[in-house]
Every structure is written in C-alpha cells, then in structure tokens.
C-alpha cells in the first residue's frame, strides 16, 4: 500500500545481526498514530521528526496492534504537515479569551492579578500547546480544551457546595497545568515529542506551585 504520513517519533536502532533500522511512530492521513519499522536502513540524517513522508508499506499485526512495515520512503512537501496534526475542535485563542474573561470578572483583586499575569505571560504557548504527551488531549490546542473542561467541572462543584471559595477554585483549575508549557518538549508541529530536562527534574505541578508563589 502507498500513503503519506508524518514522523512523530524516530529512533535509530541496530538489530541482532548488526543491521541498522528505524523504529518509528507515524501519524497517518487518518490522524491516528501507528508504530512503524524500516528494516535494513541507515538513516544518516535523511529523515527526522516532523518530516512528512510518502511511503509504501505492509500493515502487519504485532501483539494485537497494527504495525507498518515500510518498504520504501521518500520526503513529501513540508506544506502537507497540517494534514497530519490532530487539533482541538475549538480555537485555542477563543478558549483563552473565555477563561481570561472569567478571571477579569473576579472580585478578589489579588487572585485576579496573579492569575491574569500568569496567563498573559504564557499566552502564546497556552493557546496552542497540547495538554499531554499521550494520555489525554495530546493535540494542538489541547491544553486550553482540557483547562476549560476542568474549569467547567469546578463551576459545577460550586453549585453543589456553595460554601466553596468559587474564585479560588476556578483559579486553581485554570493554573493547574499551566507549566506544561515548561515541562513538555514541543516540536514545530506543536505536538509533544518528549519532556524538557527541566520538566524531568521539576514536574509541571511543582513548577506551577513555584511560579504562583513567585507571582504572589
């Protein structure tokens, strides 16, 4: 079969006979991820993460999952990259504006100042970043989509428990994952391809707590 795909992960490996091969994760035209192999192949810098490729392959069943056995590969136009990047159905900039509007309506001046300052400082990344590497909302704009859903849950909780400090809870919901922008290593396709050194050493929840403390 022949198709186009985008390389999300690429590892150069050697088999037991000393032959080089590529161990890949590719995003297909259906925007789903597939493990793939190119056997007896020395990359020598020809292909890299985010490359759009034209391939011929055989789809094999490996441990109950589809794995692509790629037989031929060549680069496709980089302009095709948007065809393969999964993205939120909601515009990240619009979601950011909705959340900022909630913050601007806070009566607590201190919370308003802290949350708005942090959001505006992270604005460019918050509007487009994924929420995670793999587990959930791992798509362009996923961080804002995930954050908005947590804020919605927080608001519903406040209707059940009216004694809760609503603005404080919503502030926590908005900021709980803000330092994913520090933790995640994001490629030019704005998908997470791993974690930064800082993210490995200081996870986003701890970094977020530190950032709020500094801002306060």
Bridge-based pairing state of the strands 184-186 and 192-195:
antiparallel
Q: Cβ neighbours of residue 164 under 8 Å, at least 6 residues apart?
A: 157, 158
Domain ranges, ordered by start, for the chain: 2-83, 92-215
Binning pLDDT at 50, 70 and 90, where does residue 197 land? low
Using CA atoms of 149, 150, 156, 158 in order, give the dihedral in degrees to the nearest 10.
-150
Whether residue 130 contacts residue 33, with contact meaning beta carbons closer than 8 Å, is answered with no
* pLDDT at position 82 over 80: no
CATH 3.30.420.10, applies to 2-83: no
In angstroms, rounded to a whole number, what is the distance separating the alpha carbons of residues 34 and 181? 26
Mean pLDDT across the chain: 84
The per-residue pLDDT for 134 is 66
């Amino acid at each position: 079969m022949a198709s186009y795909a985008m390389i999300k992960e690429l590892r150069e490996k050697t088999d037991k006979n000393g032959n080089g091969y590529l161990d890949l994760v590719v995003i297909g035209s259906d925007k789903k991820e597939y493990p793939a192999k190119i056997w007896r192949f020395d990359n020598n810098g020809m292909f890299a993460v985010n490359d759009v490729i034209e391939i011929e392959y055989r789809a094999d069943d490996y441990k109950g999952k589809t794995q692509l056995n790629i037989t031929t590969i060549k680069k496709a136009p980089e302009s095709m990259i948007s065809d393969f990047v999964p993205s939120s159905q909601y515009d990240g900039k619009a979601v950011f504006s909705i959340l900022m509007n909630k913050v601007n309506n806070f009566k607590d001046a201190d919370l308003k100042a802290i949350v708005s300052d942090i959001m505006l400082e992270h604005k460019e990344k918050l509007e487009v970043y994924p929420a995670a590497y793999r587990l959930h909302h791992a798509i362009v704009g996923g961080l804002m989509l995930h954050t908005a859903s947590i804020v919605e849950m927080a608001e519903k909780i406040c209707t059940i428990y009216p004694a809760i400090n609503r603005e404080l809870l919503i502030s926590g919901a908005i900021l709980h994952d803000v330092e994913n922008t520090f933790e995640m290593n994001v490629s030019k396709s704005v998908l997470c391809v791993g974690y930064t050194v800082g993210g490995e050493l200081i996870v986003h929840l701890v970094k977020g707590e530190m950032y709020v403390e500094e801002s306060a």
